[in-house]
Each structure stands twice: as C-alpha cells, then as structure tokens.
C-alpha cells in the first residue's frame, strides 16, 4: 500500500483547491488554519508538487499547479 500524505500536506492541498473571495483571504486562512506563514505555505506546496503521493491525493489540483509552475519557468 502506498504511503499516505500527512495531515498538514492534505490541508495544504485542500486549501489550494479552494476559491478565495477577496484579496488577502487566503493569506489569513493560511495563518489561522495552518498556523504557518504564507512563505512557508508556498514552500510546502512547491515541495508537494513533486510528491507522487500528492498527485494521487489531489490529481486535478497538483496537475493544475504543475502546469502553472512550468509556464512560469518557461517565461523566465
């Protein structure tokens, strides 16, 4: 059986899949719900994009974010 994601990783992926109504709402939720800074959140998220467990857990979200990351890298 494949190893499962930990609770924090699952929470990061769930948060990334949500829609945010106003600017700053996501950053507030990151601090309040996850207890980390937005900078740390994005570090965790970026590492998850290369984790096969994350892809299995949330394929739509991970693939969308991988495409966005690749497009941003290509523009540089």
Closest by CA position to 54, among listed 20, 23, 8 = 8
pLDDT tens-digit series, residues 14-54: 999 999 999 899 999 999 999 999 999 999 999 999 999 99
The model's pTM is 0.86
pLDDT tens-digit series, residues 61-70: 999 999 999 9
Rounded Cα distance between 22 and 10, Å, is 23
């Amino acid at each position: 059986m494949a190893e499962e994601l930990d609770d924090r990783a699952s929470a990061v992926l769930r948060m990334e899949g949500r829609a945010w109504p106003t600017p700053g709402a996501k950053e507030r939720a990151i601090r309040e719900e996850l207890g980390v800074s937005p900078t740390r959140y994005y570090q965790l998220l970026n590492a998850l994009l290369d984790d096969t467990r994350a892809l299995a857990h949330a394929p739509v979200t991970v693939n969308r974010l991988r495409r966005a990351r690749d497009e941003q890298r290509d523009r540089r």
